[in-house]
Amino acid sequence: MRLSDCHNIDDFRRLAKQRLPWPVFDYIDGAADDELTKARNTAAFGQCDLVPDVLAGVDTIDTSITVLGRKSALPLILSPTALQRVFHWQGERAVARAAEKFGLWFGISSLATISIEDVGAMVSTPKMFQFYYHKDRGLNRSMIERCQAARFDAIALTVDTIVSGKRERCARSGFTSPPRFTPSSALSYAIKPRWALDYLFREKFSLPNLDTHVSAGTGEAVSIAGYFNSMLDQSLDWKMAQQLREDWGGTFCLKGVMSVADARRAVEIGADAIMISNHGGRQLDGSRAPFDQLREIVDAVGGRIEIICDGGVRRGSHVLKALSAGATAASGGRLYLYALAAAGQPGVERAIALLKDEIERGMKLMGVTRVDQLSPERLRWR
């Protein structure tokens, strides 16, 4: 299977599986417990249908939106994800450059393998920093100050990872950051020599936004669950979130809001946006899908805060459904991560191009020329 054989996100997933050592693939593909929520995140989009209008004159259409104060060429955001250099040696650089090429928002994780400064210098398109609230207050301050200096466009505080989800595939494989070559994992790396050579001989793995303050994850190999459970501040509450927003002083988003009550509180603390998200099913298994939860949140706070529907998106039609149900934008991680793992920057570009094509075709077949014409009227629930 080659890159040119990839015609949808699932194809990239299969190619990624071929190319990655299984502990790395399972870190990307896996989720918590029984992975019910991960499956539901995508299945939820199948519970409703689009109702097209015809004869609408769709020779020119505009797929752009404005979200978090900046324009995006598509109503799609590339969500922040950790450790990208482990998936492909080009890591975050590939994703940043692909996002820039298509005029999209993208995010880097606190656990990014590229520095805030490098991202700031590299791309002009809108960028978000995903903030994990650490016990180490000096580290929190340093991340904020570095994002300010590098002129990041927004910070997203992740609020669904107060402890790590129970990611059983990672527990079985012993996946760590940085990846450890132990006798038991050696085979998985040995049978993917191309990945192993890239990992060993290209730019050295590091977590440059954390390693100024903590050695876990860089100098010291730890499981991701171990990192979250020991480093993140479980006392995080609304007051601390509000204080972080004030310290940052720029566009502020809460990532991982699921309830109507919390969406209302996000408005109260002055957040600009919420990402309705369950972290791609990697945290609380059995929690509701973002798309299922979207309508009640739109009813409660729509128009007062931007609402991003995060997770499960694998098709352009999923984006159109999220927008029809009232989201400002849709976002996702695996939709570009499989492609990154499969083929680096050309992979990510191909994945975005496929989704762009599906969004454009879908809008034309729906008979809309602008995304704001997508409304609840265009959806029917089974």
Ligand X SMILES: Cc1cc2nc3c(=O)[nH]c(=O)nc-3n(C[C@H](O)[C@H](O)[C@H](O)COP(=O)(O)O)c2cc1C
The catalytic residue positions are: 279
- Sole window of 166-174, 212-220, 257-265, 330-338 interacting with ligand X (rule: CB under 6 A): 330-338
Residue 334 is a binding residue for ligand X (CB under 6 A): yes
User: How many Cα atoms are found within 13 Å in the side-chain-facing hemisphere of 351?
Assistant: 33
Residue 313 is a binding residue for ligand X (CB under 6 A): yes
Contacting ligand X within 336-365 (CB under 6 A): 337
- Sole window of 12-20, 78-86, 136-144, 215-223 interacting with ligand X (rule: CB under 6 A): 78-86
- Sole window of 51-59, 74-82, 96-104, 202-210 interacting with ligand X (rule: CB under 6 A): 74-82
Residue 311 is a binding residue for ligand X (CB under 6 A): yes
Residue 146 is a binding residue for ligand X (CB under 6 A): no
Between 56 and 168, CB nearer to ligand X: 168
Residue 293 is a binding residue for ligand X (CB under 6 A): no
Among 91, 280, 344, 347, binds ligand X (CB under 6 A): 280
Among 333, 344, 347, 362, binds ligand X (CB under 6 A): 333
Between 27 and 105, CB nearer to ligand X: 27
Residue 255 is a binding residue for ligand X (CB under 6 A): yes
Residue 332 is a binding residue for ligand X (CB under 6 A): yes
CB of 252 to ligand X, least distance (A): 14
Q: Which residue is nearest to ligand X (CB)?
A: 333
- With CB under 6 A as the rule, give the number of residues binding ligand X: 24
Phi, psi dihedrals of residue 135, rounded to the nearest 5°: -65, -30
Contacting ligand X within 23-42 (CB under 6 A): 27-28, 41
Among 44, 94, 119, 335, binds ligand X (CB under 6 A): 335
The answer to whether the beta carbons of residues 128 and 105 sit under 8 Å apart is yes
Residue 310 is a binding residue for ligand X (CB under 6 A): yes
Among 80, 91, 126, 362, binds ligand X (CB under 6 A): 80
Residue 130 is a binding residue for ligand X (CB under 6 A): yes
What mask, x for binding ligand X by CB under 6 A, covers residues 195 to 234?
Answer: ----------------------------------------
Alpha carbons 31 and 27: distance in angstroms, whole number = 8
Structure tokens of 101? 């090429």
In whole angstroms, what separates CA 165 from the centre of its chain? 16
Residue 126 is a binding residue for ligand X (CB under 6 A): no
Question: Which residue ranges make up the site for ligand X (CB under 6 A)?
Answer: 27-28, 41, 79-82, 109, 111, 130, 158, 255, 277, 279-280, 310-313, 332-335, 337
